Every structure is written in C-alpha cells, then in structure tokens.
Amino acid sequence: MNVTEISQLIDTLIFEHTGKHLDDVQKAVIEGTLHGQTYEEIGQKCHRSETHVRGVGYQLWKLLSEALGEDIKKSNFRSNLERVYTKSSQIVEINQNFNFCSQTFNEINKNNQSNNKPHQNSLLFHNLTLAPKITDFYNRETELTTLSNWIFNQNTPLISVLGLFGIGKTTLVKRFVDLNLQPFEVIIWKTLKFPKSLDLLLDNLLKVCQQEPKESTDDKIRQLLDTLITQKCLIILDDVQNIFIPGEFSGQYKSEYQDYKNFFKLITEIQHQSHFILISQEQCSEMHCLDEERYPVKCLELSGIENLDLLRNKNLKDEDTWLKLVTLYEGNTIYLKDIAGLIKDVYNGHVSEFLAEDNLLITTNIKYHFRQIINRLSSPEKELILKFSKFGHAVTKEQLRQDIELSSTDFINSLQSLQKRYLVTKSLNEDKIVFNLSPVFKEYVRNFCQM
Ligand SMILES: Nc1ncnc2c1ncn2[C@@H]1O[C@H](COP(=O)(O)OP(=O)(O)OP(=O)(O)O)[C@@H](O)[C@H]1O
Ligand SMILES: [Mg+2]
C-alpha cells in the first residue's frame, strides 16, 4: 500500500465514523507519520504549530483506535494498518467476488466480528510491532498445517519452533500469524534478542492487554493466567536461545532467567484456551516431551527448503543448476540469500560457473553467524565438532569416540547437545545409527576453527 492509498482508506474510514472527510492537517499528519516525520516537521510543512499538529494527531489516533478496535498510535500506525490490511486481504480471499477497494475497514471489522465468536463484545489486542513483515514466502505448507492442527484441533498450549539460524523459523511463525489473526483476541509478538527478566516481560504482556500490572511477579503471573483463561491469546516469544547460558550444553537457563523455566511449565499445567509459541535455535527440556501424545507440548523442528523460487528475482542464470546450489547449501534460506548475492556480484549471476569451482564457499555473513554459534558451545562440544570435521561422511558413535579426549559422559552429552542445537543430525545407514555435522558448518570448522 502506498501513502495515497493509505490516506484514501483512512479518509473513507473516518467519514464513516464521523460523517466528515479528512482535513488538510489530518492528511499532513498521516502522510508525515508514514514518512517517519516528527510532529515538529509535519507542523513546519503545513504551517501549523507543533502543539496544534500534536493535538490533531492525538484526536486522529483516538478516532482510528475506536473505528478499528485497535490501539493506534503514531508509533504503531503503519504496522497496525498493514496488519489490518493483511487481515482484510484474507477476508477478500475467503469471500470471492469481494472487492476490497469498495469496502471500508469498518465493514471488515464487522465481518470479522460476526464470523468469529471470540471477538464478540470484546476488544482486540494485537501487538505485532516487533514481528517482521513477510514479503516472500515459499513452501512450508506442511509446517503451516502442523501448527494449525496443534493450535486449533489439539489445543496445544506450548509449541516450539526450532532449528539452525536462518532456516526460516521467524518467517514461518509470522506467516502463520498473518494467516490466523481472526481467532485470537490477543496476539503479542515479543523478541528475547536482548533478553529481559520474566517480570518485565509480564509487565509488557499485561500492558498490551491494557491491564495495570500488580506488584509481585507471582501476582503478575496470576493476572496473565487469568487473561489466558478468559481470552484466546497467541503469544510468540522469538530468539529464546538468548536466555540460555553460552559456553555450556544447550538449553540451560541463565541464573537470572530461571523463572522462565517455571513459567513455561506452568503454561502447560494450567487449563486455559491460549497458546505460546517459542522460537529458538536451541532446544531446552520444557520445549520437548518424550510422550507428546499425552503431554501438551509440541516442537516443530525445521530443516531446509528445497524450492527454486528462493533463488528467483535475484538475477541468477543457469536455472538447471539451481537445485544443486540449493542442496549444497542445505536449503537454508539465509545461506542461499547470501550466496545468491555473491554469485550475482562475482560470477555475474552464473551459478554453473560458481558450482564448477567445486568449492563450498562460506560468505562473510555466514562466517559471522557461525562465530556466534561457536561462542555458544561448551568445550566438549567444540572438541566434538573438530572430530566431526575430520570425516567427510556420517559416522557411527564408535567411530567418533576413537582417539577423543573426552570422558564418556561429556562425549554423550555433547552429542546430544549438538543435536539440540541442530548442528548434528542423526540418520540410519545400513541398519547403523550414524551422525553428521551440518555440511556447511563442517566446512566452516575445517577452514576457520583453531580451537
Ligand atoms: N519460507 C520462506 N520463503 C521465503 N523466504 C524465506 C522463507 N523462510 C525464510 N526466508 C528468508 O530467509 C531469511 C531467514 O529467515 P528467518 O529470519 O525466518 O530465519 P530464522 O530461522 O528465524 O533465523 P534466526 O535463528 O537467525 O532468527 C529471511 O530473510 C527470510 O525472509
Ligand atoms: Mg529468527
């Protein structure tokens, strides 16, 4: 949607709500906000004082909040609007012959509410300001169906989406959210990229639901649980691996984040109608359950995508060789984006020329990510990946074990921990269980690790 389209839609919406069209200052506030301008800059442009423009903005956000049933502010105007627009587009898809341009947001909201029980007589608190906007999305239909099934049919309260960096976890979950806004009264997306205490997270969550957080963490947990019981909520926590200790086996909570462990457990023990999705590069014990049939915890482990569309619109040539490139880089979306850029710049887009060099090249960006991963490994795991890098193929436990200076406990724990980081995969080869390090990571270890 461009600025003019947004402005026209807001005008229609405000007209329906107040019987008046947008005036020039209101239009200037909308356009200025979309261009990231301050009230002072907007005021200068339309020759009004900053105070006057701020007052007009305040009234406008209030009107829009009432009309859309969303908390609209200057800071979240664009993202909220795009989300409502996405929601409306889905309704357009559902209702064939439905022309969005002739339909106002008001009608969309009415449609939403009448089609959808949970929304009746209740406010919607959707806060996706920290979620990425998805423009391209390929494959992952099975994964989307799995998430839908766990949430809507099996009512699973705690789901984890796990996998190596860049494999597409965040993108998949955001796509799921975009496709499923309707059934939830509360949707909140939070990232733990810069982790915060559980107490602060609870404050944030409660405030989005327009509740004043109580004094103690226990009371805040109770308040949130009440919300999870009375309203259908979807809460997404991204980058969860950052609450785990670097330099130790995977999934160990840092001391200051221990209460997350109890909190996640509680989410699965209390009866409610809501769902948490945890996105992480590392698995911890709360994310996984041996008996998934009986316990309300599920985890979706992502592997790469075998789809050539990932390479389209990237100025690449020799389409007949693209599949080889996708396979070489394990279908990892970040690796492929990076390598496509490199092939365009250095090989003028000729994929076959790049492949002819027979070189599993590690880009600077991939190297940077792998360095972060290495920093998270424990010493025995580092030892083990060096051992893995000496083999050009998958190996048995016994082969790995030979000549390695690790106690048997450290060896076994490392092997498990590396699997929980999605760096090592297990498979069956002629009736034997074999393990292998991710090939791209192995190449990195061979070339850049002197531990
Ligand atoms: N299904 C997909 N279709 C198209 N592009 C995708 C898809 N999945 C991921 N991507 C692209 O690949 C990149 C990495 O995806 P994403 O950020 O979701 O990975 P991630 O697993 O969350 O990584 P991290 O662990 O580093 O957060 C993004 O630029 C995204 O746009
Ligand atoms: Mg991510």
In the prediction, which pLDDT does 100 show? 30
CA of residue 165 to ligand 2 center, whole Å: 7
d(CA 12, CA 240): 42
Q: What angle do CA 239, 244, 250 make, to 5 degrees?
A: 105
Asked if residues 76 and 130 have their Cβ atoms less than 8 Å apart, the reply is no
Atom of ligand 1 nearest to the CA of 132: 17
Count CB atoms within 10 A of the CB of residue 161: 27
SS3 77: helix
User: Of the bound ligands, which one is closest to the alpha carbon of residue 238?
Assistant: 2
Residue with the larger pLDDT of the pair 120 and 450: 450
For 162, list phi and psi in degrees, rounded to 5: -125, 155
In the prediction, which pLDDT does 1 show? 64
Q: DSSP secondary structure string, 243-271?
A: GBPTTSSTTPBPGGGHHHHHHHHHHHHS-
In the prediction, which pLDDT does 87 show? 52
In the prediction, which pLDDT does 85 show? 59
Residue with the larger pLDDT of the pair 414 and 27: 414
d(CA 171, CA 186): 20
CA of residue 44 to ligand 1 center, whole Å: 41
Asked if residues 303 and 162 have their Cβ atoms less than 8 Å apart, the reply is no
CA of residue 110 to ligand 2 center, whole Å: 34
* Residue 138, both tokens: 């390929």
Atom of ligand 1 nearest to the CA of 302: 21
In the prediction, which pLDDT does 157 show? 96
Average pLDDT over residues 290-309: 86
Count CB atoms within 10 A of the CB of residue 444: 23
Please tell me what DSSP assigns to residue 298.
E
For 220, list phi and psi in degrees, rounded to 5: -65, -40
In the prediction, which pLDDT does 123 show? 59
pLDDT of residue 419 exceeding 70: yes
User: Strand 186-191 and strand 275-280: pairing?
Assistant: unpaired
User: Of the bound ligands, which one is closest to the alpha carbon of residue 165?
Assistant: 1
Query: Which band of pLDDT confidence, cut at 50, 70 and 90, is reported for residue 121?
Result: very low
Residue with the larger pLDDT of the pair 9 and 424: 424
333-360: pLDDT as tens digits: 999 999 999 999 999 999 999 999 988 9
H-helix or E-strand spanning residue 236: strand 233-238
pLDDT of residue 237 exceeding 60: yes
In the prediction, which pLDDT does 63 show? 83
Atom of ligand 1 nearest to the CA of 167: 21
Asked if residues 303 and 331 have their Cβ atoms less than 8 Å apart, the reply is yes
CA of residue 22 to ligand 1 center, whole Å: 39
CA of residue 212 to ligand 2 center, whole Å: 30
Count CB atoms within 10 A of the CB of residue 386: 16
Percentage, residues of the chain above pLDDT 70: 89
User: Which of 136, 171, 242, 308 has the most ligand 1 atoms within 8 A of CB, as the residue to mutate?
Assistant: 171
In the prediction, which pLDDT does 51 show? 85
Asked if residues 422 and 433 have their Cβ atoms less than 8 Å apart, the reply is no
220-234: pLDDT as tens digits: 999 999 999 999 999
Out of 54-63, 72-81, 372-381, 394-403, least confident range: 72-81
Residue nearest to atom 16 of ligand 1 (CA): 168
User: Which of 175, 326, 334 has the most ligand 1 atoms within 8 A of CB, as the residue to mutate?
Assistant: 334
d(CA 255, CA 51): 47
Residue with the larger pLDDT of the pair 255 and 47: 255
CA of residue 311 to ligand 1 center, whole Å: 14
pLDDT of residue 49 exceeding 60: yes
pLDDT of residue 101 exceeding 50: no
Out of 180-184, 418-422, 434-438, least confident range: 180-184
**Ligand 1 shell residues, CB under 6 Å:** 136-140, 163, 165-171, 281, 305, 310, 333-334, 337
Q: What angle do CA 27, 33, 37 make, to 5 degrees?
A: 115
Q: What angle do CA 390, 395, 400 make, to 5 degrees?
A: 65
Average pLDDT over residues 308-323: 92
CA of residue 7 to ligand 2 center, whole Å: 32
Asked if residues 357 and 324 have their Cβ atoms less than 8 Å apart, the reply is no
CA of residue 170 to ligand 1 center, whole Å: 6
Please tell me what DSSP assigns to residue 279.
E
Distances (CA, A) of 243 to 131, 159, 164, 259: 19, 17, 16, 11
Asked if residues 186 and 233 have their Cβ atoms less than 8 Å apart, the reply is yes
d(CA 205, CA 214): 12
d(CA 37, CA 34): 8
Out of 64-78, 87-101, 118-132, least confident range: 87-101
User: Which of 333, 336, 363, 421 has the most ligand 1 atoms within 8 A of CB, as the residue to mutate?
Assistant: 333
Mean of the per-residue pLDDT values for the chain? 87
pLDDT of residue 116 exceeding 70: no
Average pLDDT over residues 111-117: 40
> Which residue segments constitute the domains of the chain, with CATH numbers given?
3-115 (no CATH), 127-301 (3.40.50.300), 308-361 (no CATH), 368-448 (1.10.10.10)
